[in-house]
Chain A
Amino acid sequence: MTANAVKKRKRVAKRETVRRLQGVLFTLPVIVGIVVFSYIPAVQAFIYSLFKYDGFKTAQYIGFKNYADLFSVDRETGKVFLNTFLYAFVSVPLSLVLGYLVALLVNNKLRGVSAFRTLFYLPVIIPGVAAAVLWRDLFNSEFGVINRIFGAFGAHSLFFESEKTALATLLFTGVWGVGGSMIIWLAAFKNIPAELYESAKIDGANAFTRVVKITLPLSTPMIFYNLVLSVIGSLQVFNTFIIAGGSGGRGPENSLYFIALKIYNDAFTRGGRMGYASALGMALFAVIGLLILLVFKTNKWVTYTE
Chain B
Amino acid sequence: MKILRFKRFGVSLLCMCLVLIMSACILLPTGSVDDGGGDDSVTGGDDGTPTYAVEINPDKNAALELTVSVSGDAHERKIIEELGKGFQKEYPNITFKIDPISGNIYDTVMGYYRANRMPDLLMANSFSMLTLGAAKVVAGLDPYIEAETQNGTFDADDYYADFWKLGQRNFDGTQWMVPRAADQVVVHYNKSILRAAGVDLDPATTKVKNGWTWRDFLDVCARVRSYYDGHGMGNLYLIDSYLNWEANFNAILRSCGAEYWGEGDAGAIVSENTKTALNLMKDLVEKKYTAKFSGASQANFDGGQGAFLFHSRASSLTWNILKEVTAVKNELGGGAAPEDIYDVATFPLIGDSPKIGAGAAGYCVAATIDASRRDYAWQFLKFMLSRDGQNIIAECGANYPPIRKDMADPTAEGVSWGLNLGFNLDAYTWAARQGYACATDFILKRPAMAQDLIDAVNTMIKNYVDYTPAQGSADANAKLDREMQYCRESLEYWAFDA
Contact = CB atoms under 8 A, between A and B. Distances in A.
- Interface size of A as a range: 35 or more
Contacts of B110: 55-56, 268, 274
Contact of B27 (A44, A56, A162, A272): A44
A55 B107 CA distance: 9
Contacts of B114: 55
Interface string A136-162: 100011110000000000000010011
B279 to A, nearest CB: 22
A161 B104 CA distance: 24
Contacts of B498: 73-75
A142 B295 contact: yes
A59 B29 contact: yes
Given A58-B31, A58-B136, A269-B104, A162 B294 contact: yes
Interface stretch (B18-26, B59-67, B143-151): B18-26
Contact of A270 (B20, B28, B451): B451
A57 B447 CA distance: 17
B451 A269 contact: yes
Given A55-B114, A56-B30, A141-B295, A75 B493 contact: yes
Interface string A41-85: 001100110010111111111000000000001110000000000
A252 interface: yes
User: Max chain B CB contacts within 10 Å: which of A44, A59, A158?
Assistant: A59
B296 interface: yes
Interface string A30-44: 000001000110011
Contacts, number: 112
Contacts of B4: none
B38 interface: yes
B452 interface: yes
A102 to B, nearest CB: 31
B104 A271 contact: no
A80 to B, nearest CB: 14
**Chain B CB within 10 A, most for which of A48, A161, A275:** A161
Nearest to B22: A40
A61 B447 contact: no
A87 to B, nearest CB: 22
Contact of A58 (B135, B447, B459): B135
Contacts of B270: none
B497 A271 contact: no
B303 interface: no
A49 to B, nearest CB: 11
B37 interface: yes
A74 B19 CA distance: 32
B294 A53 contact: no
Contacts of A44: 23, 27
A140 B32 CA distance: 49
Interface residues of B, number: 42
B452 A270 contact: yes
Nearest to B20: A43
B34 A61 contact: yes
Given A56-B30, A142-B295, A271 B131 contact: yes
A162 B106 CA distance: 30
Interface in B452-498: 452, 455, 459, 493, 497-498
A141 B294 contact: yes
A53 B448 CA distance: 13
B29 A51 contact: yes
B23 A272 contact: no
Contacts of B104: 268-269
Contact of A142 (B22, B106, B297, B449): B297
A173 to B, nearest CB: 17
B435 interface: no
A154 B493 CA distance: 43
A29 B108 CA distance: 29
Nearest to B493: A75
Contact of A43 (B19, B37, B131): B19
B136 A57 contact: yes
Contact of B28 (A47, A141, A162): A47
B137 interface: yes
Contacts of A252: 294
Contact of B134 (A61, A253, A271): A271
Interface string A187-204: 000000000000000000
Contacts of A273: 448
B227 interface: no
Contacts of A60: 33-34
B106 A268 contact: yes
B448 A271 contact: yes
A259 to B, nearest CB: 17
A269 B448 CA distance: 8
B234 interface: no
Contacts of A35: 19
Nearest to B368: A57
Interface string B268-291: 000000000000000000000000
B135 A57 contact: yes
B495 to A, nearest CB: 13
Given A40-B23, A56-B136, A161-B294, A272 B29 contact: no
A205 to B, nearest CB: 46
Contact of B24 (A47, A162, A253, A269): A47
B442 interface: no
Contacts of B36: 58
Given A43-B20, A268-B110, A269-B106, A141 B33 contact: no
Contacts of A141: 294-296
Contacts of A270: 448-449, 451-452
Given A141-B294, A158-B294, A270-B451, A59 B31 contact: yes
Contacts of A248: 455
Contacts of B212: none
Given A56-B113, A270-B449, A43 B24 contact: yes
Interface in A80-129: none
A271 B135 contact: yes
Nearest to A73: B497
A47 B26 CA distance: 11
B27 A57 contact: no
Nearest to B447: A271
B236 to A, nearest CB: 12
A136 B295 CA distance: 11
Nearest to B448: A271
Closest 8 CB pairs of A and B: A271-B448, A59-B29, A268-B107, A43-B23, A271-B131, A57-B37, A58-B37, A56-B135
6 contacts: A55-B113, A56-B30, A57-B38, A158-B294, A268-B110, A272-B135
Given A40-B19, A269-B451, 4 more contacts: A55-B135, A58-B35, A61-B33, A75-B493
